[in-house]
């Protein structure tokens, strides 16, 4: 592992990284930054929590610093597309740590906020535009933004954008961008559609891969609790949560209604809990995530889409209260913990009618998730995964890193608790 100062970065960038407490690049950064700095198109494959934002953000800012001219009215020099509002805001926040002592401006356009304010902010042009595809299309339709000057395109969490049907928006956006341009695509998984996307929008891309697609971060310990019925899940969840009340825990529910009901039940039982899902306003979601990040809220109940892009290093546990219908979503979920090189634990609940979903997950990840309690049904109810992009979540006990053998001494405190819970 090298230090950032060996990557040929500008002093102002090195100072910004140091101020942010970043001294050494992560593996994806170490590999991707030199390639992107050289102007190559980059296809980056890495789990969530591995530092992908800085992997494209650092070379992007570096390139823009070499373009001192101010952007023209309504234009942008670079465009970053991400699937959710939360992820867009998170990317923008990270980029602002890099640009605060430069002339570069970062603008955000997302749904759920005043489009008139966003139009006003774009009037003077911007260096970096971070956007959700839907809101960007709205602005394009209103002729509030001119993308012909975009020379850098980043597609972050591209697999999730495919899941959410944003490929149609991308087909509208891409022809409006400037050429030639540098394109960088980052993803945690590599479905067939991703290969097609890469061929369509990247030119001779340099492929950077720090772990096989479909694998969890190495420091995520996994386990599953088999329950005889869905009715056992609430009690099992409280049993597990009560053993580490101060830990930040992210709980995944498959549906908006389920997430809200689960959160209200936890609050009624005295837990510091909040929820984020599609029925919440952007303000409500932002406040809940802020409280979770600050530790005021200890348990955050979320649906897949709402939780996409949450980057909170302190998340200790991810609980798959419901298993996701799409195996790739399990990878994304458990990537919410063990971020920034820390250890974390992913716990799943599996009811009899979810046994087939668990098998699908294990097949994709090429592992067998260790059983913390209960017994898998001998004749599980077959249930095929539904369309990509749907998912369900929850929490459990012990386990091992994906693709590795169980460690005899790792996470002993939590494992003991899991045995007691069993």
Question: Cβ-count burial of 270 within 10 angstroms (0-12 exposed, 13-18 middle, 19+ buried)?
Answer: exposed
251 has pLDDT over 80: yes
Is the backbone peptide bond immediately before 271 cis, with ω within 30 degrees of 0?
no
Tokens 């070499």 belong to: 66
Confidence of residue 216 (pLDDT cuts 50, 70, 90): low
Compute and round to an integer the Cα radius of gyration of the chain: 21
What's the chain's average pLDDT? 84
**Over residues 48-54, mean pLDDT:** 82
Is it the case that residue 237 has pLDDT exceeding 70? yes
CA 268 remoteness from chain centre: 30
| pLDDT band at 2; cut points 50, 70, 90 | low
Among 95-104, 107-116, 373-382, the range scoring the smallest mean pLDDT is: 373-382
Is 0.85 topped by the overall pTM?
A: no
Any idea what DSSP says for residue 339? G
Residues contacting 79, CB < 8 A, separation 6+: 129, 131, 136, 147, 150, 152, 153, 154, 173, 177
pLDDT-derived band at 157 (thresholds 50, 70, 90) equals confident
* Predicted pLDDT at 410: 38
Q: Is pLDDT larger for residue 379 or for residue 271?
A: 271
The percent helix, strand, coil of the chain (3-state, each to 5) is 40, 15, 40
Share of the chain above pLDDT 70, in %: 85
CATH 3.40.50.300 range(s) for the chain read 4-209, 220-421
Domain 220-421, CATH homologous superfamily name and number: P-loop containing nucleotide triphosphate hydrolases (3.40.50.300)
Binning pLDDT at 50, 70 and 90, where does residue 347 land?
very high
How high is the pLDDT of residue 413? 37
Mutual orientation of helices 52-65 and 85-99 as an angle, nearest 10°?
50
232: phi then psi, degrees, rounded to nearest 5: -80, -15
Phi, psi (degrees; rounded to nearest 5) at 177: -85, 160
248 in Cβ contact with 387 (< 8 Å): no
Flag whether pLDDT at 217 surpasses 70. no
Other Cβ atoms closer than 10 A to 225: 28
Q: Which two tokens stand for residue 225?
A: 């609790």
Please give the CATH superfamily to which domain 4-209 belongs: P-loop containing nucleotide triphosphate hydrolases (3.40.50.300)
What average pLDDT score do residues 310-319 get? Answer: 84
């Amino acid at each position: 592992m090298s230090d950032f100062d060996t990557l040929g970065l500008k002093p102002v960038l090195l100072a910004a990284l140091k101020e942010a407490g970043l001294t050494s690049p992560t593996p994806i950064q170490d590999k991707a930054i030199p390639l992107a700095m050289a102007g190559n198109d980059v296809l980056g494959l890495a789990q969530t929590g591995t530092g992908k934002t800085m992997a494209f953000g650092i070379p992007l800012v570096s390139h823009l610093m070499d373009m001192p001219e101010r952007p023209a009215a309504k234009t942008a020099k670079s465009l970053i597309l991400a699937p959710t509002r939360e992820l867009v805001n998170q990317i923008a926040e990270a980029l602002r740590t890099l640009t605060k002592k430069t002339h570069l401006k970062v603008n955000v356009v997302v749904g759920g906020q005043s489009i008139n304010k966003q139009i006003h902010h774009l009037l003077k042009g911007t260096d970096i535009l971070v956007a959700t595809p839907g809101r960007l299309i709205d602005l394009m339709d209103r002729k509030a933004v001119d993308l012909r000057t975009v020379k850098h395109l980043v597609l972050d969490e591209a697999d999730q954008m495919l899941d959410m049907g944003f490929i149609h928006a991308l087909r509208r956006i891409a022809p409006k961008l400037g050429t030639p341009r540098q394109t960088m695509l980052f993803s945690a998984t590599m479905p067939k559609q991703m290969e097609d996307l890469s061929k369509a929008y990247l030119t001779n891309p340099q492929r950077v891969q720090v772990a096989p697609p479909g694998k969890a971060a190495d420091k995520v310990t996994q386990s599953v609790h088999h329950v005889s019925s869905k009715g056992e899940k609430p009690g099992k969840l409280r049993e597990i949560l009560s053993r580490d009340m101060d830990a930040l825990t992210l709980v995944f529910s498959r549906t908006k209604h389920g997430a809200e009901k689960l959160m209200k039940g936890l609050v009624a039982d005295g837990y510091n809990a909040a929820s984020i899902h599609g029925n919440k306003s952007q303000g409500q979601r932002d406040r809940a995530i802020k409280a979770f990040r600050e530790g005021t809220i200890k348990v955050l109940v979320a649906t897949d889409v709402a939780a996409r892009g949450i980057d909170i290093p302190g998340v200790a546990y991810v609980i798959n209260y419901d298993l996701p219908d799409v195996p790739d979503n399990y990878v994304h979920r458990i990537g919410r913990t063990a971020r920034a090189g820390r250890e974390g634990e992913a716990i799943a609940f599996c009811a009899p009618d979810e046994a087939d979903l668990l098998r699908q997950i294990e097949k994709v990840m090429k592992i067998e998730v260790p059983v913390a309690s209960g017994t898998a049904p001998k004749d599980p109810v077959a249930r095929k995964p539904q369309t990509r992009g749907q998912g369900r979540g929850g929490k459990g006990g012990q386990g091992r890193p994906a693709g590795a053998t169980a460690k005899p001494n790792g996470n002993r405190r939590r494992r003991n608790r899991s045995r007691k819970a069993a």
